[in-house]
Homo-oligomer: A and B are copies of this chain.
Amino acid sequence: MADEGATSIWMQPEGHERSGPGRRPGYSREQITRTAVRIADAEGVEAATMRRIAGELGTGAMSLYRYVPRRDDLFDLMIDLAMSGIELPDGPSGDWRGDLTLLGRRIRAVGLRHPWLIALLTSRPTLGPSLLRVHEFALGAFSGTGLDIDDITGFVGMLNDYVHSAIRREIGWLEEARRTGLDPERWKRDYMGPYVRQVVESGAFPLFNRSVLDSRTAHLAPEERFRHGLDRILDAIAALIPSLCSP
């Protein structure tokens, strides 16, 4: 074979669909990816090791390498499988705000269902087909506004940035607690709590203190807080669309 693994995983077909001689494959890329996702959902992405995935499938670790070139490529496949769970209308509805609100909520839903997703997604440049589909839908939401493609890309970027970091804020400390082995309540009270309390009581950062103590949105339910932030981003975008602001 020429240059195995020297190109993107999306350029390498499974290769198990010829009809020549040789033993029939007993597994599949999708089956392996699904297993990895299931393990990562339940115990974190660091639990989805090659041996563990293979064990779950009843085979040896090295068998997986007949289907996936490297572990990093498996991450790309996991990301794309998770993103494929986002159901979207076939095209934009004409109501860009409604479309993007829907998209934001769907992304949040998969981000919570797969707590490893956002961390992987933002840790490496990846462009799987499902991600492209989602991205295309986001771009399409602005297609009726007469905006420049650069402006559209920028707005979609702003939205993505917000959605990703909001999800990270929502689950980041939970994941960190899990990684350190403490239960979340204990982590908040014994691990992070004392330090934040010390910082607050020192009075060295008065505005930080206000953002911790005087916040009204901090007491909202997570979904409400997400929606509130998303609305602000959409407000900001609306304020910058000339055809809506100064026609």
Contacts and interface: CB of A to CB of B under 8 A. Distances in A.
B192 A149 contact: no
A27 interface: no
Contact of A239 (B124, B133, B216, B236): B236
A190 B6 contact: yes
A195 B173 CA distance: 36
A11 interface: yes
Interface in A185-235: 190-192, 194-196, 198-199, 204-208, 210-211, 214-217, 229, 232-233, 235
A157 interface: yes
Contact of A229 (B149, B154, B164, B211): B154
A128 to B, nearest CB: 10
Given A139-B208, A139-B211, A192-B8, A158 B233 contact: yes
A11 B207 contact: no
Contact of A211 (B149, B214, B237): B149
Interface string A159-197: 011101100100011001001100000000011101110
Contacts of A88: none
B205 A136 contact: yes
A124 B191 CA distance: 14
A57 interface: no
Contacts of A143: 207
A195 B6 CA distance: 12
A153 interface: yes
A123 interface: yes
Given A149-B210, A153-B215, A7 B190 contact: yes
Contact of A217 (B119, B150, B196, B237): B150
Nearest to A210: B149
A150 B212 CA distance: 10
Given A195-B7, A210-B149, A215-B153, A123 B119 contact: yes
A217 B148 CA distance: 11
A172 B127 CA distance: 13
Interface of A: 6-8, 10-11, 72, 119, 122-125, 127, 132-133, 135-136, 139-140, 143, 149-150, 152-154, 157-158, 160-162, 164-165, 168, 172-173, 176, 179-180, 190-192, 194-196, 198-199, 204-208, 210-211, 214-217, 229, 232-233, 235-237, 239-240, 245
